[in-house]
Amino acid sequence: MRHFIFFPPEASVYARHVDWILFGLLGVSAAIIGLVVALLLVFGIRYRRGSRAPRGPLPAWVSRDVEIGWTVATLFTFVFIFWYATASFLTTIGAAPNALEIHVVGKQWMWKIEHSNGVREINELHVPIGIPVKLVMISQDVIHSFFLPALRIKQDVLPGRYTSESFTADKTGTYNLFCAEYCGTDHARMGGSIVIMKKADYQKWLDAQPGAENLAGQGRQLFVRLGCAGCHFEKGHRRAPDLAGLYGSYVELADGRTVRADDSYLRDSILQPKRDIVAGYAPIMPSFEGTVSEDQIFELVAFIKSYSGDAETTQ
């Protein structure tokens, strides 16, 4: 790591874009503070007590017209800055399709990272350049915040709810990773680095990792071990909904609502199965709250996402 930093490295197009907004704001602010300080100095010196500067009467209209003038001017300037800063933000709502999805679990005081091919790391995040990455994050205890200064992104990581942040890095290197939301004793140590690599290097790194089955495969094993398969893979008369092709579809619930089966829905259905009962089924599924950890839920969800109802499902 370097021993001095004046301006943070820019490791994505977005980071450079944010910096241009910063420079725009710095320019406007310098102009405003320059004006205020210049007026303070000029008036302060010119109209010091006893100076010879003339002090004729102000015409009656001066006060009102000047007030309205600078009120309107300030309002326009500020609304312009709002527009300038917000326009770029609007384009970042919603992640790129086909993003490389990486799962992050925050806990006191470490980051656990699960790649979709099953590779795991702690307090380090390896990503390739040029490929959109989407981090799907959840906390096991208190609120944390996943902060990557070189990419100008930060997102709180909440217990009980998925949040995400997306980026496309374009500069290789090792950069800071911090927890930005105060989380207790070792908050200051809950960090590490993001390693941005060329695609070939990234592949090499992946291959060198201890061989593990991919996340969906681990999820399938877990699915069977926890006994989920008993009902969900049952043939013929079903006690539980079929999971094939479920992810992303719309599900009709017993109470008449329709919900989209996304990550949060699947997570809630594992932990609080009585909340969203699928139409036509009895509420017999037990809760897995306390039985499965957040990283295991990521595996289960990854499995359900990938599951399309292949042949050798039942055991």
Partner 1 sequence: MSDAVLDDTSLPHDVSTFDKGYLGDGHTLRSWLLTTDHKRIAILYALTLTIFFFIGGVAIALVRIELVTPAQDFVTADEYNRLFTLHGIIMVWFFLVPSIPATFGNFLLPLMIGARDLAFPRLNLFSWYLTVIGGAFTVYVLLAGGVDTGWTFYTPYSSIYSNSHVIAAAIAVFVAGFGTIATGINFIVTTHTMRAPGLTWFRLPLFVWAMYTVSVVIILATPVLAMALTLMMAERFFGVPIFNPQGGGDPILFQHLFWFYSHPAVYIMILPAMGVVSEVIPCFARRRLFGYDFMVYALVAISVVGFFVWGHHMFVSGESPYANLVFSFLSFVVAVPSAIKVFNWTATLYRGQITYEAPMLYAFGFVGLFTMGGLTGLFLASIPIDVQATDTYFVIAHFHYVMVGGTVSAFFAALHFWWSKITGRMYPETWARFAAVLMYFGFNFTFFPQFIMGWAGMPRRYGSYPPEFQIYHVLSSAGAVVLAAAYLMPLGYLTWSLRWGRRAGDNPWGATGLEWQTSSPPPTHNFDKLPTVERAPYDYHPEGYVETGEAARTIEASQKGGEQE
Least Cα distance to 294 among 282, 302, 286 occurs for 302
Is 57 a residue that touches partner 1 (CB under 8 A)?
Answer: yes
Burial class (CB in 10 A: 0-12, 13-18, 19+), 297: buried
* Binding status of residue 198 toward partner 1 by CB under 8 A: no
Which one among 121, 154, 205, 259 touches partner 1, defined by CB under 8 A? 154
Task: List, in order, residues 6 or more apart from 183 with CB less than 8 Å away.
Answer: 106, 108, 109, 141, 142, 143, 144, 190
Q: Does 23 bind partner 1 (CB under 8 A)?
A: no
**Of 212-271, which residues contact partner 1 (CB under 8 A)?**
none
Q: Is 71 among the residues that bind partner 1 (CB under 8 A)?
A: yes
Under rule CB under 8 A, residue 33 binds partner 1: yes
Nearest to 302 by CA among 137, 132, 98, 115: 115
User: Applying CB under 8 A, does 147 fall inside the site for partner 1?
Assistant: yes
User: Of 167, 238, 166, 173, which Cα lies nearest the Cα of 201?
Assistant: 173
75 scored as a contact of partner 1 (CB under 8 A): yes
Q: Write each residue from 99 to 118 as x if it is in contact with partner 1 (CB under 8 A), else as -, in one continuous string.
A: ---------x----------
What kind and span of H or E run contains 302?
helix 294-306
With binding defined as CB under 8 A, does residue 61 bind partner 1? no
Q: Shortest Cβ distance from residue 283 to partner 1 (Å)?
A: 17
Element (H, E) at 161: none
Nearer to partner 1, 182 or 308 (CB): 182
Stretch that binds partner 1, among 17-25, 120-128, 243-251, 294-302 (CB under 8 A): 17-25
Nearer to partner 1, 47 or 260 (CB): 47
Work out which of 27, 122, 130, 141 binds partner 1, going by CB under 8 A: 141
Stretch that binds partner 1, among 70-78, 113-121, 210-218, 242-250 (CB under 8 A): 70-78
Of 244 and 277, CB closest to partner 1: 277
- Binding segment (CB under 8 A) for partner 1, from list 14-22, 128-136, 218-226, 300-308: 14-22
**133-139 and 163-167 beta bridge pairing:** antiparallel
Amino acid at 313: T
Among 16, 43, 262, 284, binds partner 1 (CB under 8 A): 43
Across 97-133, b (16+ Cβ under 10 Å) vs e yields eebbbbbbbbbbbbbbbbbbebbebebebbbbbeeeb
Contacts with partner 1 in 156-185 (CB under 8 A)? 156, 158-161, 163, 176, 178-185
CA gyration radius for the chain? Answer: 28
Q: Are residues 157 and 137 in contact, defined by beta-carbon separation less than 8 angstroms?
A: yes
Task: State yes or no: residue 25 binds partner 1 (CB under 8 A).
Answer: yes
